[in-house]
Structure 1
Amino acid sequence: MVRELLEKARELSIYTAYNTNVDAIVYLKGEMVQRLIDEFGADAVRKRIDEYPRQINEPLDFVARLVHALKTGKPMAVPLVNEELHSWFDSHFKYDVERMGGQAGIIANLLSSLDFRRVTVYTPHLAKKQAEMFVNRPNLFYPVVENGRLIFKHPREAYRENDPLKVNRIFEFRAGTTFKLGDETITVPFSGRFIVSARFESIRIYTEPELRPFLPRIGEMSDGAILSGYQGIKLRYSDGKDANHYLKKAKEDIMLLKREKDVKVHLEFASIQSRELRKKVIYNLFPLVDSVGMDESEIAYVLSALGYDRLADRIFTYTRIEDTVLGGKILIDEMNLELLQIHTIYYIMYIAHADNPLGEEELRQSLELATTLAASRASLGEITSPDQISVGMSVPYNERGEYVKLRFEEAKRKLRTKEYKLVIIPTRLVQNPVSTVGLGDTISTGAFTSYLAMLKEKGEL
Structure 2
Amino acid sequence: MMEFLRDFQRMSMYLAYNVNVDAIVYLNEKHIESLIKEFGVENIKRRIEEYPREINEPLDFVARLIHALKTGKPQAVPLVAHEADKWFNSRFTYDVERIGGQVGVIANLLANLNFNRVIAYSPLLGKKQADMFVNRDNLLYPTIEKEKVVLKKPLEAYREEDPVKINRIFEFRQGTKFKLGNEEIIVPYSGRFIVACRFEEFARIETSPELKPHLPEIGDIVDGVILSGYQGIRKHYSDGKDANYYLRKAKEDIKLLKRKKDVKVHVEFASIQDRELRKKVIYNIFPLVDSVGMDEAEIAHILSVLGYRDLSDRIFTYNRIEDAVLGAKILLDELNLEILQIHTIYYLMYITHRDNPLSEEELSKSLEVGTTLAATRAFLGDIKRPEDVKVGLNIPFNEKGEFVKLRFEEAKAKMRTREYKIVMIPTRLVKKPVSTVGLGDTISAGAFASYLSLLRKNKVY
TM-score range, shorter chain: over 0.9
Residue number in structure 1 paired with 2:32: 33
Q: How far is the alpha carbon of 1:11 from its aligned partner?
A: 1.8
How many angstroms apart in 2 are the aligned matches of 1:392 and 1:82? Answer: 40
Letter in 1 for 2:333: D
Residue number in structure 1 paired with 2:125: 126
How many angstroms apart in 2 are the aligned matches of 1:27 and 1:235? Answer: 33
Residue number in structure 2 paired with 1:222: 222
SS in 1 for 2:409: helix
Residue number in structure 2 paired with 1:267: 267
Letter in 1 for 2:308: Y
Which residues in structure 2 correspond to 1:136-285 (within 5 Å)?
136-203=135-202, 204-285=204-285
Q: How far is the alpha carbon of 1:147 from its aligned partner?
A: 2.0
Letter in 2 for 1:148: E
Residue number in structure 2 paired with 1:328: 328
How many angstroms apart in 2 are the aligned matches of 1:236 and 1:421? Answer: 41
Q: How far is the alpha carbon of 1:9 from its aligned partner?
A: 2.9
Question: Does residue 57 of structure 1 match 2:20?
Answer: no
Residue number in structure 1 paired with 2:45: 46
How many angstroms apart in 1 are the aligned matches of 2:396 and 2:273? Answer: 34
Residue number in structure 2 paired with 1:100: 99
How many angstroms apart in 2 are the aligned matches of 1:144 and 1:181? Answer: 52
TM-score between both structures, scaled by the size of structure 2: 0.99
Question: Does residue 396 of structure 1 match 2:396?
Answer: yes
How many angstroms apart in 1 are the aligned matches of 2:30 and 2:184? Answer: 13
Residue number in structure 1 paired with 2:426: 426
Deviates more, 1:82-91 or 1:193-202: 82-91
Which residues in structure 2 correspond to 1:326-405 (within 5 Å)?
326-405=326-405
| Cα root mean square deviation, aligned | 0.6
SS in 1 for 2:370: helix
Q: How far is the alpha carbon of 1:10 from its aligned partner?
A: 3.1
Residue number in structure 1 paired with 2:443: 443
Q: Can you list the C-alpha shifts for 1:347-384, whole angstroms capped at 9, x where unaligned?
A: 00000000000000000000001100000000011100
CA contact (8 A) 1:266 1:290 kept: yes
CA contact (8 A) 2:8 2:116 kept: no
How many angstroms apart in 2 are the aligned matches of 1:7 and 1:46? Answer: 53
How many angstroms apart in 1 are the aligned matches of 2:90 and 2:124? Answer: 27
CA contact (8 A) 2:74 2:192 kept: yes
Q: How far is the alpha carbon of 1:84 from its aligned partner?
A: 1.4
How many angstroms apart in 2 are the aligned matches of 1:408 and 1:23? Answer: 36
Letter in 2 for 1:182: G
Residue number in structure 2 paired with 1:115: 114
Deviates more, 1:3-12 or 1:408-417: 3-12
Residue number in structure 2 paired with 1:300: 300
Deviates more, 1:139-148 or 1:335-344: 139-148
Q: How far is the alpha carbon of 1:146 from its aligned partner?
A: 1.4
Q: How far is the alpha carbon of 1:6 from its aligned partner?
A: 2.5
SS in 2 for 1:459: coil
Q: Which runs of 5+ in 2 are unaligned?
A: none
TM-score between both structures, scaled by the size of structure 1: 0.99
Letter in 1 for 2:364: R
Q: How far is the alpha carbon of 1:90 from its aligned partner?
A: 1.3
CA contact (8 A) 1:9 1:452 kept: no
How many angstroms apart in 2 are the aligned matches of 1:207 and 1:354? Answer: 36
SS in 2 for 1:165: coil
CA contact (8 A) 2:79 2:85 kept: no
Q: Alignment identity in percent?
A: 68
How many angstroms apart in 2 are the aligned matches of 1:324 and 1:6? Answer: 31
Q: How far is the alpha carbon of 1:69 from its aligned partner?
A: 0.1
Q: How far is the alpha carbon of 1:4 from its aligned partner?
A: 1.5
